[in-house]
Amino acid sequence: MTETRTFTDMEQIITTSSRLMDGDKLYFTAIGGPPLVAVLLAKRLRAPELAYIVEDGTIAPQVSLPAPPFLIAASGASYRAAAWADMNTVSFHAGLGYIDYGVLAAVQVDEYGNFNSTFVGPAYERPARRFGGPGGANEIASLCWRTILMTRQQGRKFVKKLDFMSSPGFLDGSAGARERAGLPADTGPWRVVTEMAVFDFDEETRRIRLKALAPWATVDDVIAEMEFEPMIGPSLESIEVPSEEELSVLRAEVDTTGRTVRGCWITVELDGENARLVEQETSAEGA
């Protein structure tokens, strides 16, 4: 008995990320986009008590779903928070070690989990494409204990050398590199989540390592979409595709306008734990 399911690459990234989240941990997200949507999905489906902090100073809100359409500029985003503070205050809480996980999106990632959200192109003054900037990512990736990065599996995103390092991963990967740069000890990137894969980082070399794979993708599929070869973990886990329930909650309650979850469509045929790729849309626009 097979079943066909269709979802966007971003919906896969969001659901995979949301499944990494627990109700007894504290999360720090940027004010909008995939990280916040992943947190809201986890809170709605699996961990209603999950608390998160937003860079605008909102502490542990209880957004009532369905979320308002333009959540980034809606009072609903900070509804029934435990506290309303400001940007400096919440980053102090992260600096004190209270925040377990930072959840962030990246334009480019390198093999040590450093990432770029500033520009791509030949030089800072001459961007081919300029983005919003580090935003809150530099502090979140520096101060939280662990960082979850969300990005698409594309060669231009997993690069040998970043055009600009907006935010730190393990820097040059050497032991103590973050500490020597003044960052808090024992922190760093923890997972990188794409629509095809989940990566962790080798404890010794600090290099990115394939940890889990979508059931419809192979290791070669993943490597084909990276400029460098990742390490391969000892036993690859399988990523579940988004469930009907996850997709329905995402589309009908969390991101009702589809602004965040939109992307390239993936259609798979499910047969028990196996999944066969039926169609994967490739589109520059979806990135």
User: Where in 10-29 is the site for another protein (CB under 8 A)?
Assistant: 23-26
Does 34 engage in binding with another protein (CB under 8 A)? no
N- to C-terminal Cα separation, the chain: 34
Count of residues of this chain found to bind another protein when the rule CB under 8 A is applied: 81
For another protein, the binding residues in 103-122 under the rule CB under 8 A are: 114, 118
Could you give phi then psi for residue 29, rounded to 5 degrees?
A: -125, 155
Does 286 engage in binding with another protein (CB under 8 A)? no
Out of 82, 175, 252, 278, which residue is the one contacting another protein (CB under 8 A)?
82
Could you give phi then psi for residue 183, rounded to 5 degrees?
A: -85, 155
Comparing C-alpha atoms, which of 2, 12, 10 is closest to residue 33?
A: 10
Considering the complex, state which of residue 154 and residue 166 has its C-beta at the smaller distance from another protein.
166
Considering the complex, state which of residue 49 and residue 273 has its C-beta at the smaller distance from another protein.
49
For another protein, the binding residues in 243-262 under the rule CB under 8 A are: none
Q: What angle do CA 43, 14, 253 make, to 5 degrees?
A: 55
Q: Are 222 and 213 in contact (CB under 8 A)?
A: yes
Tokens describing residue 273: 């734990």
Out of 66, 184, 215, 286, which residue is the one contacting another protein (CB under 8 A)?
184
Minimum CB–partner distance for residue 198 and another protein (Å): 23
Does 125 engage in binding with another protein (CB under 8 A)? yes
* Rounded CA separation 197/211 (Å): 7
Minimum CB–partner distance for residue 131 and another protein (Å): 6
